[in-house]
Structures are given as structure tokens and as C-alpha cells.
Amino acid sequence: MRPTLFWKVTTLVFLILFVGAIYFNGMPSFGSTTVDSDQAVETAVEFINQNMLMGLATAEVQDITEDQGMYKVDLIIVSDTMDYTEEFTSYITMDGKLLFPTAVDLTEFEATEEVVDEVVDEVVDEVIPTEIDYSGDPVLGNPDAPVTIIEYSDFECPYCSRAYWTMRLVEEDYTADQVKIVFKNYPLSFHSFAQKAAEASECAFDQDMFWEYHNLLFENQEALAVENLKQYAIDLGLDTETFDNCLDSGEKESEVEKDFNDGLAEGVTGTPAFFINGQSLVGAQPFESFAEIIDAELALAETTEEEEEEVVEEEEEVVEEEEEVIEEEEEATEEEETVVEGEVTGACETNDDCPSGSICFGDECIEIQN
């Protein structure tokens, strides 16, 4: 699985939460001193946001309860660069001095070599990159364009909306013969309208109006209820009866699920996520981030094309030389056949022994035929 920004953030949380214990002054005190839960949690969350997440994401408190003499805090991490959330639970001693990472149940754990090997095998399998299959997906641009951008997106995702306008800049700055864009649906479960919007886009794709419909959805992101989705079909002049039946029947659920599973196989955990000729670019990145990769890929493609042309030219030269050799051999063969078929005019050792119009061939003078 390819690393993503949020995976790094989440890993950072679990690693540094333990280090956070140092900030709260070492070992816990289970004495009678107790601080207010809101005060203890406020300090802990402030520490997490300022010193650990550092603007990449934000920790928010969902619930505070008492559990076995400690404050149990249910938190949610919200990424600020990609539309993704993650829940986890941490603990704070009731004196407010020590912050613990989330609890791990060790009651059924056995540290055996076989288990370790199995886990390692799973990790190795995940690292192997998979080839993204985009056959049957919407493609904007020349199918033979040297740069392919595969986009995993969610029509309800606000970060995807920002990325939508960035992709419009890509369309303006590069020709269809340079860059093609492939769209894959990746509706997130906590976006209530995203699934149906994704299905609706596939229904529009059936009528060759995917990109026009795609644009309307992102430009009207605040209105994605089913009645809105059907109205957009009317606005674009689609066959509304066919469109409505497609959307209401849920026949595109499997297509959306296929896109989603493709994303999971590529390590996508949030939206938007892009693969530019296989290079991962995660989140609502600025246009410059796309341009840097695209320009490098175009330069590489141009160099490769020139090298291929040189190879073709060299191969053509070799073929021409071979054809010349064949022609010369054929001419020599014809001359020999002509000589052999001529009339014998005498015996000889050299051409000087033969009469005019004959040559010495072997020990015989052979008349040259015109």
C-alpha cells in the first residue's frame, strides 16, 4: 500500500502520543489529586494539535468518560489537506499529568514466530504496486496522450471541489494530446449524498455526457439530493426516463464499487487522490504540484520518442544496406548465369587466350551474350 499523508499523520499520532507522556511529567499519580476532566482534556488536545499534528490535521473531542480511574477520551482526527477522518481513544490520568495512547487488548496475543512471519508476508504483499485498470472509465483527452492522470474523487468532498478547479487549469494549460484525465468514483461513507452522485455520473456516462455532468456536480456541490441529480440530467438534455431508471434501480452500484476497490488496491484512503503516470499525489494540491510532474513526464516522453525515432532510422538504414547487398548478389548471379549459358569458343588459361567477345571461364572460352 502506498503511503499517504493521512497514514503518516495517523502513525505520528500513535508514536508521539506516547512521547507526550514526557510532556505531562512522567509516571502517573494514582493518589487523591484530581483535576477537572475538561481541563485535563483541553490541555491534552492542545498539545496534540500544536506539537504533533502541526496543522496537517486537527484533533477534536467527541466524548469524555471515566474508566478504571482514568479519563477516557474519544477523539476524531480530521485531516486538513484531504477529506478524511479517523477515530481513536486515548487516556489521561485523573491528575492530568500523563497522556496514554489508545489501549491495546493483549489478552489473546501470542508472540509466535509463525504469526510474525504471516504479518510480514502481508505487509510485503501490500507494497507491491498494482496496475490501475481504467478500461471502461471516463477519459478526457487523447487515449494515446503520454501523460495519464487517474483521479479518485468524491462529488461531495470539499477538497475534491478545490481539486476540480485545479484540474480545469490542467485542461487549459496542456493539450488533449499531452494529458488525458481518467476519473474514478471514490465516495466516502460519511458523505450522505456521495454514493448516489457517483451512480448518477455513471448513468450520465452511459449517454456520453459524463464530463458535462461531472462539472455540474462539482459546481453545485451543495445540491446533490436525488431530485437535484435528476434535474441536472434534464438541464443537460439527457434521456431522462433512461437516466431516472438507471439511477433509481441502483444498477451502477457495482461500477462505483469497482472504482472504490481499485482505489483501495492502490492505497487510496481519502479524497482526492491522483496518480500521474503512476506517481501518487494526494490531497487538494496546488496546480504547480501537478505541473511539476506533468512537465517532467512530457520531457521524458519527448526524449524517449526521439530515441525511438533514431532507432527506427538506424533500422531503416540497415534494411536499405541489406537490400543493396541482395541486389548486388542478384546481379552477380545473373552475370554468372549469362556466362555459363554462352557458346564455347575455345580453350584458355586466361582471357588473353580467348577471341574478342569471349572470356575465360574455367579452362574454356565462353562467348558473352548481350
Q: How far apart are CA 315 and CA 281, in angstroms?
A: 39
- Residue 238 grid coordinates: 439527457
Residue 124 has pLDDT above 50, yes or no: no
What digits encode the pLDDT tens for the residues 291-303? 999 999 999 998 8
Q: How far apart are CA 196 and CA 249, in angstroms?
A: 11
Task: Give the global pTM.
Answer: 0.55
Mean of all residue pLDDT scores within the chain? 80
Work out the pLDDT band at 99, boundaries 50, 70, 90. confident
Closest CA to 24 of 40, 6, 4: 40
What digits encode the pLDDT tens for the residues 249-275? 999 999 999 999 999 999 999 999 999
8 A C-beta contact, residue 333 and residue 306: no
DSSP E strands in the chain: the ranges are 57-67, 70-79, 85-93, 99-100, 139-140, 147-153, 179-185, 273-276, 279-282, 344-347, 358-361, 364-367
8 A C-beta contact, residue 13 and residue 52: yes
Q: How far apart are CA 356 and CA 351, in angstroms?
A: 9
Work out the pLDDT band at 81, boundaries 50, 70, 90. low
Q: What percent of the chain has pLDDT over 70?
A: 74
